Amino acid sequence: MSSQALQTLFPEARTAERAPAPAASGAADRARATEPFIVRLDRMSPRQRLRAYRDGTFSRAERARWACRYPEEVPTVNGEVEWIAMASADLD
């Protein structure tokens, strides 16, 4: 609805001027923040990456980036990524 139509319907109401919304740079900021991790990940050997995962060095987001970049290295349980399977499966 236009502001003129609103003024007609509600003459006593004033329309407030809004400041423009800031540019959405969240994705770009996150991408820049992950670059050092990707560089570090690429410099590691497969054995080092697995050890870092097992030691809990990787955050949840870093584990996801590792799984996307090196899916053949990520341990699985019944075809599911290990850390997801351990958190959601009924293990007997």
Number of neighbours of residue 22 by Cβ within 10 angstroms: 6
**What pLDDT is stored for residue 88 in this prediction?**
83
The list of the chain residues with pLDDT below 50 reads none
Contact status, residue 53 vs residue 77, Cβ threshold 8 Å: no
pTM: 0.60
**What pLDDT is stored for residue 37 in this prediction?**
92
- What is the distance between the alpha carbons of residues 21 and 72, in angstroms, rounded to a whole number? 42
